[in-house]
Amino acid sequence: MIGGRGAASVYCFFLFFRRKYQSFFLVQTPSKPDRQTPTISVAMISPTELDDDTVRSMSIGAVFSDFGGKINSVDFHRKDDLLVTASEDDSVRLYDIASAKLLKTTYHKKHGTDRICFTHHPSSVICSSVYHLDSTGESLRYLSLYDNRCLRYFKGHKDKVVSLCMSPINDSFMSSSLDHSIRIWDLRVNACQGILRLRGRPTVAYDQQGLVFAVAMEGGAIKLFDSRSYDKGPFDTFLVGGDTAEVCDIKFSNDGKSMLLTTTSNNIYVLDAYGGDKRCGFSLEPSPSTTIEATFTPDGQYVVSGSGDGTLHAWNINMQNEVSCWNSHIGIALCLKWAPRRAMFVAASTVLTFWIPDSSKPTVDPRPMDTEGAAPSEHVTQQ
């Protein structure tokens, strides 16, 4: 496992590429080389350039190991090359993903840091609290990373916030909590703008156009709401049959055609976002008392996920085959997201890793899924 907190607060290393992918990651030598934090310039990649070989070649390109506990959540900015993390050591950290540099660290000892997401501004985030929820009720905070200032408190949730997402089109955002409620907020107003009370552990996500949001409930029910008239109730409901585990994460693909569900039993499902039909599903090794995360690639053609055995897996959705399986080198990856505009993803536990293509890796044939639903390896099972 990668770790260690020696004199160097950050340990980074970078892979140098030749041949096909050398234009993706161009390494620049600084005038005064710093072996601990070398500078790189990462070129953007069109989603159409992703293929099985590119995904299969992903390797660790940078490691940040100076966290004082597990990383609770990560988020990419939609338009800028920025990543933000929230971790158990009460820190919020901002990274430039194009150069793999830590830009800023702020600490929030009074409230703690748990779920986090960017607003539209690259220097402001929404962060959920860990401490004093009963006494202060300040379950969510609107933070400025520029001057380490709290711009607004949002009171309402009485228990841990488990899901947090920003509307892609306006200043609205949503949160769901173990208090069995989903709350709709506006960054400009302290008061909650709407409440949905649901059974179980609700999880929520906007589609990429901000017109629809999905709510996952107990019993495998997925309800779709019009974000402009959610008070009228869901306009559609899907059922994921055969799995009684609660959904702990839900995501839409960028094209809005698919939804990605991750359950507390480490089952992953890709659904048709219009009809609710199950396109494919995969079962991973369990991780008792902790949850994993899965992510779409920007083109919506691949899914990457962690697993309870400390591995990472990638699947081609259309072909329904496993493209690759990697050792995460960080134990169970609690957080995993693919960058919106880059050929990279991040995986995190108590350590943060940046994964990028390595064209020096040999290519191998993908593992086909058994038509009867058998596992392609001892780690992964198709649903």
Q: 318-369, pLDDT tens digit by residue?
A: 999 999 999 999 999 999 999 999 999 999 999 999 999 997 876 555 444 4
Looking at residue 220, its pLDDT comes to 78
> How far is 278 from 363, CA to CA, in rounded Å?
30
Stretch 120-126: mean pLDDT, rounded?
A: 97
Closest of 374, 288, 377, 360 to residue 326, by C-alpha: 377
Residue 60 scores a pLDDT above 90: yes
CB 333 within 8 A of CB 306: yes
Looking at residue 243, its pLDDT comes to 76
Residue 119 scores a pLDDT above 80: yes
Tens-digit pLDDT profile for residues 168-195: 999 999 999 999 999 999 999 999 999 9
> How far is 292 from 278, CA to CA, in rounded Å?
20
Q: What are phi and psi of 356, to 5 degrees?
A: -140, 160
pLDDT category, 104, cuts 50, 70, 90?
very high
CB 337 within 8 A of CB 76: yes
Residue with the bigger pLDDT between 144 and 48: it is 144
CB 371 within 8 A of CB 28: no
Closest of 60, 43, 133, 3 to residue 347, by C-alpha: 60
Looking at residue 245, its pLDDT comes to 83
Residue 218 scores a pLDDT above 90: no
Looking at residue 132, its pLDDT comes to 85
Residue 34 scores a pLDDT above 70: no
Stretch 237-265: mean pLDDT, rounded?
A: 90
Report the run of H or E that residue 56 belongs to, with start and end.
helix 52-56
Looking at residue 376, its pLDDT comes to 37
pLDDT category, 136, cuts 50, 70, 90?
confident
Looking at residue 362, its pLDDT comes to 65
Stretch 123-142: mean pLDDT, rounded?
A: 92
Residue with the bigger pLDDT between 334 and 19: it is 334
> How far is 346 from 331, CA to CA, in rounded Å?
14
- One DSSP character per residue, 178-247 reads TTSEEEEEETTEEEEEEEEE-SS--EEEE-TTSSEEEEE-GGGEEEEEETTSGGG--SEEEE-TT--SPE
Cα angle 123, 124, 130 (rounded to 5 degrees) comes to: 130
Lowest mean pLDDT among 59-63, 218-222, 258-262, 323-327: 218-222
